[in-house]
């Protein structure tokens, strides 16, 4: 099989974890290439639910190599909690198969504090809806060249000096801007030391490991969030702090772009968004409530209720052109069962014009009105359907229309949360 990139085509929460888990079986290695523990992948295998925030979903497949790439910002405490939880379930999470790039950036306690201090200072209208996990401040330190890398955890003297350097600026902000207590270098250092000792065995040259794994089989690259949360191409400023587009899989993992051969865009059969930001197809009626309830739309990381709306093909067109998608994996199709009618947004009305792609101006999407096409719904329970031809005609028509409008083939259809509830066309 071809080396494959899995990305979300909307605002995250599309069900990437399940598809990664499904494809991991045929992979030699699974690599997480961006983001941090501000994302959550929910997996259901044999009726048992497992939520992962950092560790690649492929860890549930025995013998597969799992890597956290250099493009990830790693909270070592969260990583170790996930390691311990998986080990308690009998999952092999030994350093021989679970590795962290030595170049990955480390989220420190002061990053989380800074994240929350900033958000609390903003008015309700200007809040980004950050998870408060310290993701943005960690990426800031990376760009400012004062970040702590995973490899630094193995060098106590360097680690302490870097903490001291970082706190010069952070403490000035805490004391003078946020009116908070400054952090003590020695206290932060002593807090991270035992964590660093546990992390050290997992450190690796991820690029070298990927190179060797390519000789053995397919590499699966796992992204977090969604394309429209990309720091460059998303609904800025209501975005995440990293590049979520498929092209970043190479930079965030440590390999060449020709390694990326198959790019699967995960798309929920409707649209959801967590936190602030424009959402043209958002529903505030009974249909929106029905989608929220039937889809159990609560964030895997924060538990926040997700905003729900009809499928937005304008958003998907943009994702397709930004990522050169080879196919879609359509998830949560079963949630639409029982609706009399289903609407699809095929274009926007923006400043008196009809447009097929999102406006490029900051917050331009907030002024877009969706242009809808309505299709018949279906009443049948499709959770036990095993093939495309067994789906109700209305469900097949819905999928076919998505393909016609987007120009991207739907190669995978998920009709339920379990690994087995998946149709491959």
Contact call for residues 10 and 311 (beta carbons, < 8 A): no
Angle between helix 135-144 and helix 109-121 axes, rounded to 10 deg: 110
Q: Residues 41, 61, 111, 228: which is the catalytic one?
A: 41
Contacts of 108 (CB under 8 A, 6+ apart): 134, 138, 148, 163, 166, 188, 192
Residue 129 φ then ψ, to 5°: 90, 30
Token pair recorded at residue 28: 């030699």
Distance CA(401)–CA(406), nearest Å, equals 8
Angle between helix 109-121 and helix 156-176 axes, rounded to 10 deg: 20
Q: Residues 13, 115, 230, 312: which is the catalytic one?
A: 13
Dihedral sign of CA atoms 392, 393, 397, 399 in order: positive
Nearest to 312 by CA among 383, 377, 228: 228
3-class secondary structure, 215:
coil
Q: Is 418 exposed, middle or buried (0-12, 13-18, 19+ CB in 10 A)?
A: middle
Token pair recorded at residue 117: 């201090």
Alpha carbon of residue 246 to chain centroid: 12
Integer CA distances (angstroms), 327 to 105, 223, 392, 420, 423, in order? 32, 16, 22, 20, 14
Eight-state DSSP code of residue 97? T
Nearest to 423 by CA among 392, 387, 391: 387
Distance CA(269)–CA(379), nearest Å, equals 16
Distance CA(106)–CA(243), nearest Å, equals 18
Nearest to 325 by CA among 266, 258, 256, 248: 266
Does residue 389 have an active-site annotation?
A: no
Does residue 232 have an active-site annotation?
A: no
Residue whose token pair is 């998830």: 331
Torsion of CA 111, 142, 177, 115, to 10 degrees: -30
Catalytic residues: 13, 41
């Amino acid at each position: 099989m071809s080396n494959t990139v899995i990305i979300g085509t909307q605002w995250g929460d599309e069900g990437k974890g399940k598809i990664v888990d499904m494809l991991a079986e045929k992979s030699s290695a699974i690599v997480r290439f961006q983001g941090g523990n501000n994302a959550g992948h929910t997996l259901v295998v044999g009726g048992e639910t497992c939520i992962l925030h950092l560790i690649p979903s492929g860890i549930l497949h025995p013998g597969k190599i799992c890597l956290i790439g250099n493009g990830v910002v790693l909270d070592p405490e969260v990583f170790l909690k996930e390691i311990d939880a998986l080990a308690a379930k009998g999952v092999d999470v030994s350093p021989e198969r679970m590795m962290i790039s030595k170049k990955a950036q480390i989220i420190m306690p002061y990053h989380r504090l800074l994240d929350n201090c900033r958000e609390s200072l903003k008015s309700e209208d200007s809040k980004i809806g950050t998870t408060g996990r310290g993701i943005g401040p960690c990426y800031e330190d990376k760009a400012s060249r004062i970040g702590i890398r995973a490899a630094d955890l193995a060098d106590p003297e360097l680690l302490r000096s870097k903490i001291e350097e970082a706190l010069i600026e952070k403490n000035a902000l805490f004391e003078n801007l946020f009116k908070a207590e400054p952090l003590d270098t020695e206290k932060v250092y002593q807090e991270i030391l035992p964590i660093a000792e546990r992390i050290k065995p997992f450190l690796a040259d991820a690029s070298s490991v990927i190179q060797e794994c390519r000789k053995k089989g397919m590499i699966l690259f796992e992204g977090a969030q969604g394309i429209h949360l990309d720091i460059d191409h998303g609904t800025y400023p209501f975005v995440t702090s990293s590049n979520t587009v498929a092209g970043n899989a190479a930079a965030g993992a440590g390999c060449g772009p020709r390694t990326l051969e198959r790019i699967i865009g995960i798309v929920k059969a409707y649209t959801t968004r967590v936190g602030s930001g424009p959402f043209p197809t958002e529903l505030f009626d009974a249909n929106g409530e029905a989608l929220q309830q039937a889809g159990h739309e609560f964030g895997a990381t924060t538990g926040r209720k997700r905003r729900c709306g009809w499928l937005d093909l304008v958003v998907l067109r943009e994702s397709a052109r930004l990522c050169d998608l080879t196919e879609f994996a359509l998830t949560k199709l079963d949630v639409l069962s029982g609706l009399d009618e289903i609407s699809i947004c095929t274009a926007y009305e923006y400043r008196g014009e009809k447009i097929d792609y999102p406006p490029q101006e900051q917050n331009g999407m907030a002024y877009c009105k969706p242009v809808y096409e309505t299709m018949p719904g279906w009443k049948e329970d499709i959770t036990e359907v095993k093939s495309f031809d067994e789906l109700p005609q209305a469900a097949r028509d819905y999928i076919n229309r998505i393909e016609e409008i987007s120009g991207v083939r739907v190669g995978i259809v998920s009709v339920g949360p379990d690994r087995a509830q998946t149709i491959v066309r």
